[in-house]
Amino acid sequence: LRDGKTATISVYQTGNVSTISTNGKPDASLSPASAPPSPDEITMVMLGALPLAMHPDPKDIAIIGWGSGLTTHTILGSSAPRSVETIEIEDAMVQGARLFGERVERAYRGPRSHLRIDDARTYFSTGARRYDVIISEPSNPWVSGGASLFTKEFYSFLKSHLHEDGVLVQWVHMYEIDDALLATMMSALASEFRHADLFIANSVDLLIVARKAP
């Protein structure tokens, strides 16, 4: 349990499932490697695996949100990326996720893994950064500060930081929001990325793989 600069981060275990939370709201849960995966794990692994499968040459990758570190760990299981930058505004989240140990080890120790403690918009704006893949996995839109990451303006901003054949992978949470809000979020993305594939990771998580061009 740690009070960070922007949030209180906690890591706790229920049975054999470990969870990391922001201000009491669970953000990611992992089971031991020997146990069946939690629904969260399927989502986080798919976030990493889909762009590797669907981009022809995913060399430079940016991930918005550290969470458990499992998506970064998954991406680094491939030899294709040369650089994986994970942008997380709250350092206490990164320190808490260390408790997941070997399940996320490559995120912390991999030489291609680069952690940036910063606001994503601020970080992308410095140095005219462009990527082959951007993975956006923020907390739910109703969590303080989260709503701005699901807007037309933010998707337009992300599009400007992708190469022409770049891919955006967006995690959309379908729980504790109504259909109208979900439709607004989907419409915002579609207004900037006209070509997209939707995947259902579990009963409450949608993943969108979006592109500028077909």
- Record the pTM: 0.93
- Does the pLDDT of residue 145 top 60, yes or no? no
Residue with tokens 């923020």: 138
Q: For residue range 61-119, list pLDDT tens digits in order.
A: 999 999 999 999 999 999 999 999 999 999 999 999 999 999 999 999 999 999 999 99
pLDDT band for 181, please (50, 70, 90 cuts). Answer: confident
Q: For residue 197, what pLDDT is reported?
A: 95
> What digits encode the pLDDT tens for the residues 109-136?
999 999 999 998 899 988 788 999 999 9
Q: What is the pLDDT of residues 22-38, one digit of tens each?
A: 999 899 999 988 899 98
DSSP line for the chain: -EE-SS-EEEEEEETTEEEEEETTEEEEEE--TTSPPPHHHHHHHHHHHHHHHHSS---EEEEE--TTSHHHHHHTTSSS-SEEEEEES-HHHHHHHGGGGGGGHHHHH-TTEEEEES-HHHHHHTTT--EEEEEE--S-TTSTTTGGGGSHHHHHHHHTTEEEEEEEEEEEE-SSS-HHHHHHHHHHHHHH--EEEEEE-SSSEEEEEEES--
Band of pLDDT at residue 175, cut at 50, 70 and 90:
confident
DSSP-assigned letters across all residues of 66-110: -TTSHHHHHHTTSSS-SEEEEEES-HHHHHHHGGGGGGGHHHHH-
Mean pLDDT across the chain, nearest whole number? 92
Is the pLDDT score of 51 beyond 90? yes
Residue 114 to residues 24, 86, 96, 166, 180: CA-CA distances in angstroms? 27, 6, 17, 20, 37
